[in-house]
Amino acid sequence: MIDEQFRRWVTAPVSMPSAPQELHTALSETDDLPEMIEIVREAERACMRQLQERNRQTRPAVQAPDTARWTRTIQLLVTHREVMELDMRIKWLQDMRRSLETQQQRSGLACAPLR
């Protein structure tokens, strides 16, 4: 249940509003932390692959002689924006994953028997 909703939220465009209320409630539960961490890792990897592809696109390529200079400039500017957005998203996902992992460690410690 939370998996698909969380996945949609994590992979949604940056312009998506904050997490819906039902997701806030679900995020307060620690039972699903391993699955949530894996969802974030998957999203992180997908963004990294996209970033690598966009970076390849920004490298100077042999252009057809009839390709207009302005067209190439616009293509590079659009790709550069996509790279910046992906980079920001990757950092956000990494922060989220670290927070979830910290929460998982804390909940594991809270459940550990005292010696």
Q: What digits encode the pLDDT tens for the residues 53-100?
A: 888 877 665 555 666 888 878 888 888 888 888 999 999 999 999 999
Compute how many other C-beta atoms are within 10 angstroms of the C-beta atom of residue 7: 16
Rounded distance, CA 59 to CA 23, Å?
A: 40
Rounded distance, CA 23 to CA 6, Å?
A: 7
Name the band, by pLDDT with cuts 50, 70 and 90, for residue 101. very high
Rounded distance, CA 30 to CA 107, Å?
A: 7
> How many CA atoms, within 13 angstroms, populate the side-chain half-sphere of residue 60?
1
With beta carbons less than 8 A apart as the criterion, state whether 104 and 34 touch: yes
pLDDT of residue 113: 52
With beta carbons less than 8 A apart as the criterion, state whether 23 and 9 touch: yes
Name the band, by pLDDT with cuts 50, 70 and 90, for residue 41. very high
Mean residue pLDDT of the chain comes to 79
pLDDT of residue 48: 95
pLDDT of residue 52: 92
Is the pLDDT assigned to residue 109 strictly greater than 70?
no
